[in-house]
Amino acid sequence: MADDVRVESGPMGPVVHPPDPDEAVVLHLEADRRPKGAPDPALDLARRLARRTRATVVCARCRPVFPAALEDAQEAYGYSRAWGPVVVTGRRTGAGLAAALLVRLRDLGAEPPRGAVLVSALLDLTLQAPSLLFNSAADPAFDVTELRRQAARYAAGRPLTDPLLSPLYANLHGLPPIQLLVAGTDPLLDDSLSLAARAARSGVAVDLHVRPDTAALNAELIPVMADFIAAQAP
């Protein structure tokens, strides 16, 4: 069966068009290094979201170092706004970048996105959360030592507690609604729980979903994200 979405190259990365688009736009951020020729999970997610939400999905390719990544994200946001109202999404480091973008735009007094969806978010580059120890022991594929090296490379010598590197340390007042999706077995679980608590205390609308494990999270990911996106950018 022919694919029902259209993917074109854009100045910020691939743009996924649904067959019957509405005005909503999803800006999906990635800041992970991916081996050349490896499958692109972000593009698969973008296709599924476009089908489910009828939103145009911009898959921004951001440089994997700070502050260039945040500059790229901000440029991609400006590009996406030309298509319609924007909801920002990201996974792991991309989710941390999405949260940092919300803080940057708020501090600049810029028009914010309608909301953000953060999946298994890496929000604290100091990597001191208890869940990193407890949950990584049950996930042999999760390498905390390598994650620390990646965090140091991304920070490029800046303090890891900089709020634009680790949004968990940011002032969260005035941010748009945030959805947090995470598995209870995720080594990054505590990042999402901590941000949810701090955001709620700051008056930010928070939609937190914790699923038992990664399989359960992935099974519900697209419909839960789509419902939130539809609510924020109807």
Reading the block at residue 204, the tokens are 């930010």
Strand pairing category for 56-61 and 13-17 = antiparallel
Reading the block at residue 111, the tokens are 């028009």
Q: What distances in angstroms separate CA 70 from CA 4, 17, 64, 65, 104, one per listed residue?
A: 32, 25, 9, 9, 9
The CA distance from 155 to 59, in Å, is 22
Sheet holding 56-61, edge to edge: 6-10, 13-17, 56-61, 25-30, 86-91, 115-119, 178-183, 206-211
Q: Round to the nearest angstrom and report the end-to-end CA distance of the chain.
A: 30
pLDDT of residue 71: 97
- Return the half-sphere exposure (C-beta side, CA atoms, 13 A cut-off) of residue 150: 16
pLDDT of residue 60: 94
pLDDT of residue 39: 55
Structural domains present in the chain: 6-232 (3.40.50.1820)
3-state helix, strand, coil in the chain (%, to 5): 40, 20, 40
Contact of 66 with 164, CB cutoff 8 Å: yes
Reading the block at residue 205, the tokens are 């609308």
Sign of CA pseudo-dihedral 168, 14, 37, 51:
positive
The CA distance from 30 to 89, in Å, is 9
pLDDT of residue 138: 75
pLDDT per residue, tens digit, the chain (234 aa), is 346 889 999 999 999 999 988 889 999 998 655 555 555 778 999 999 999 999 999 999 999 999 999 999 999 999 999 989 999 999 999 999 999 999 999 999 999 999 999 999 999 999 999 999 899 887 778 899 999 999 999 999 999 999 999 999 999 999 999 999 999 999 999 999 999 999 999 999 999 999 999 999 999 999 999 999 999 987
pLDDT of residue 31: 67
Report the interhelical angle of 41-53 vs 214-232 (nearest 10°): 50
Report residue 225 CA to chain centroid gap: 11
| Residue linked to tokens 């679980």 | 189
pLDDT of residue 1: 37
